[in-house]
Amino acid sequence: MKFSDIIGNQAAKDHLRRLIDNDTMPHALLIHGAAGTGKLALARAAAQYIHCTNRTNGEPCGVCPACKQHINFNHADTFFSFPIVKKKGYTVSDDYITEWKSFLLNNPIESFEHWLNELKAENSQPIIYVNESENILRKMSYASYSSKYKVLIMWLPEKMKEDCANKLLKLLEEPFSDSLFILVSENPKAILPTIFSRVQRLELKKLSTPEVAAYLQSRYGLDEQNALAVAAPADGNILIAEENITLDGENKEFFQYFTSLMRLAYSRDLKSLKKWAEEVHAFKREKARRFLQYAARMIRENFIYNIHVKELNYLNSPEEQFSTRFAPFINENNVEQMINEIEKADIDIQGNANGKIVLFDFAIRITILIKR
Ligand SMILES: [Zn+2]
């Protein structure tokens, strides 16, 4: 893992590089901050950079024996600790190392949901148990094998049980001179205060939409326009953007239903609108609500399109094609009311009102508003 593999957060990466180059890494560093930014990947890049014997232009070289071991997950002075589900023969992180490698390889941006899937533990709550602290104490007390520093990367210290944390305290207070802890947290407020007060902190910032889009382009081969369209509603969180790619089929369907709603509303075809309402109702509640969110986004995007602020627009190609003709109908006379109607329909559907009636009523209001 190189620093350049991690999107954005240049300042945090530069800070980490400086700490390592100047040999001033704190004994315990906590990386935290915005979700879906690749905090765990950054911790791994830091560990590889610490161990690389031929650092080049602020990056690990990628070819020295230490780098190769990092790439193959068998570096003798690097340890991982993470939440697990206890079962027979599986009591510490090391017992799950196969699952862990597969998790890291398949998920450049870590997610707890994906880890649950990897553990096949959807209904359990993985935890860092007290056995883990004993294991860590043992490993960290050995002399390092081939490097100046042993590095322990702990993912989600907020999932640590109190007895585990208590055993680690001494190690954090009086660390061995050759040991470094890098903790990676999604929720630092949930870390036990005794641990939290003993770490230095490094915060990652939320990514920008173009940064998320750049990631989608390089990982999924999307073109720039589609990548930006998927990235925009994700609000800087790569994990949400990735979900939106998987939902691509659903988005296509929503696009069809949105365009037909607007065409039918324009031509005041009430009979077809009634059928439209029945079909959207058949989506079932949560999907119908996702459709309404999609419709709200399209209304906003078309208003922006209409006032010619193209650089603020995030539409994929079919959406944009539709907008060239449709956008003039969304203007300052109706944009706010349309959004209000969508929100109202969403609240009614959420509150278990009769969806068919709510959606037909909503479609009629759009018929009135579209001619304003
Ligand atoms: Zn190297």
- Cross-strand bridge partners of residue 173: none
Q: What is the CATH architecture of 3-206? A: 3-Layer(aba) Sandwich (3.40)
Mean pLDDT lowest among 234-238, 243-247, 343-347: 243-247
Would you state the torsion angle of the CA atoms of residues 361, 364, 366, 370, taken in this order, to the nearest 10 degrees?
Answer: -170
- Residues 264-274 have a mean pLDDT of 96
161-194: per-residue pLDDT in tens? 999 999 999 888 888 889 999 999 999 999 999 9
Q: Reply yes or no on whether the pLDDT at 244 is more than 90.
A: no
Residue 122 pLDDT grade (very low, low, confident, very high; cuts 50, 70, 90): low
Question: How far does residue 2's CA lie from ligand 1's centre (Å)?
Answer: 10
**pTM for the structure as a whole:** 0.73
Question: How far does residue 78's CA lie from ligand 1's centre (Å)?
Answer: 14
Residue spans of the domains in the chain: they are: 3-206, 247-369
Mean pLDDT (the chain) is: 92
Question: How far does residue 24's CA lie from ligand 1's centre (Å)?
Answer: 19
What is residue 333's predicted lDDT score, i.e. its pLDDT? 93
190-219: per-residue pLDDT in tens? 999 999 999 999 999 999 999 999 999 888
What is residue 100's predicted lDDT score, i.e. its pLDDT? 95
Distance CA 360, CA 363 (A): 5
Ordered alpha helix ranges (H), the chain = 10-21, 39-51, 65-71, 97-106, 112-119, 130-141, 162-173, 193-196, 209-220, 224-231, 238-246, 248-266, 270-281, 285-306, 317-326, 335-350, 355-369
CA nearest neighbour of 47 among 166, 144, 160, 169: 144
Question: How far does residue 202's CA lie from ligand 1's centre (Å)?
Answer: 24
Q: Tell me the residues surrounding ligand 1 (ion) with CB < 5 Å.
A: 52, 54, 60-61, 64, 67
Question: How far does residue 60's CA lie from ligand 1's centre (Å)?
Answer: 5
Residues in the chain: 372
Question: How far does residue 70's CA lie from ligand 1's centre (Å)?
Answer: 9
Tokens 């903790």, located at residue = 183
CATH annotation of 247-369: 1.20.272
**DSSP strand pairing (150-155 vs 78-81):** parallel
